[in-house]
């Protein structure tokens, strides 16, 4: 899997776009596997330990393995994309990246693939004076965008941690759904007097909870 160059080399818009294209391809692979309604948790054997005759065990195991591998690759790419974004910001400060090129990639990445305001996670237990509190987040807010994450590419709650770790002391573009209205905020993860870098809980939303 291609990765962003080391810190001594220049990160360009094209190099980040290549990573995004690779992640999009992984999303397509995952979607194709999921078209077969693969259950990732259902047992493939009966109560006596024998394979269930109505299930193509080999095909299900192959599909599960393919989905898990793809999700792992996707998580790694998401981390690399976030790190590349930070490098682009640094290059902007160092006058390495032209302003218009940086503006294009910063404006483009978080929203280019978002096609709806479908929520994928929910904010809870916002602590007073926390980064989440200062950003304007409230209990019950539903996340529809968190940096580059949105309902169309979100697969695991751990991806939020990756974004937070890569944006310590830097603003993250956040859009929440509150009273059926989208609200844009800027959240800056940081060390504070309470627990965590956000000072709130983030819970995944399943279709049944929307």
Nearest-CA neighbor of 25 among 84, 91, 97, 77?
77
pLDDT tens by residue, the chain, 210 residues: 545 444 446 777 788 888 888 888 888 888 777 666 666 666 666 666 666 666 666 677 787 788 888 888 888 888 888 888 777 767 666 554 444 444 444 444 444 345 567 899 999 999 999 999 999 999 999 999 998 888 878 888 888 998 998 899 999 999 999 988 889 999 999 999 999 999 999 999 865 444
Q: How far is the C-alpha of 153 from the C-alpha of 51, rounded, in Å?
A: 34
Q: Report helix, strand and coil shares of the chain as percent, to nearest 5.
A: 40, 15, 45
pTM for the complete prediction?
0.50
d(CA 13, CA 84): 9
């Amino acid at each position: 899997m291609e990765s962003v160059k080391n810190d001594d080399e220049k990160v360009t818009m094209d190099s980040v776009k290549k990573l995004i294209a690779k992640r999009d391809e992984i999303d397509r692979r995952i979607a194709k596997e999921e078209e077969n309604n693969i259950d990732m948790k259902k047992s493939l054997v009966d109560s006596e330990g024998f394979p269930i005759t109505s299930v193509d065990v080999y095909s299900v195991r192959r599909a599960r393995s393919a989905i898990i591998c793809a999700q792992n690759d996707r998580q790694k790419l998401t981390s690399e994309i976030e790190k590349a974004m930070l490098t682009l910001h640094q290059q902007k400060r160092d006058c390495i990246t032209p302003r218009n090129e940086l503006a294009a990639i910063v404006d483009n990445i978080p929203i280019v693939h978002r096609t709806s305001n479908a929520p994928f996670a929910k904010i809870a237990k916002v602590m007073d004076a926390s980064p989440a509190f200062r950003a304007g987040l409230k209990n019950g807010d539903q996340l529809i965008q968190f940096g580059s994450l949105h309902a169309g590419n979100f697969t695991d709650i751990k991806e939020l941690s990756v974004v937070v770790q890569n944006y310590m002391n830097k603003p993250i573009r956040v859009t929440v759904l509150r009273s059926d209205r989208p609200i844009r905020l800027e959240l800056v993860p940081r060390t504070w007097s309470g627990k965590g870098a956000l000072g709130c809980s983030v819970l995944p939303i399943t279709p049944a909870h929307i």
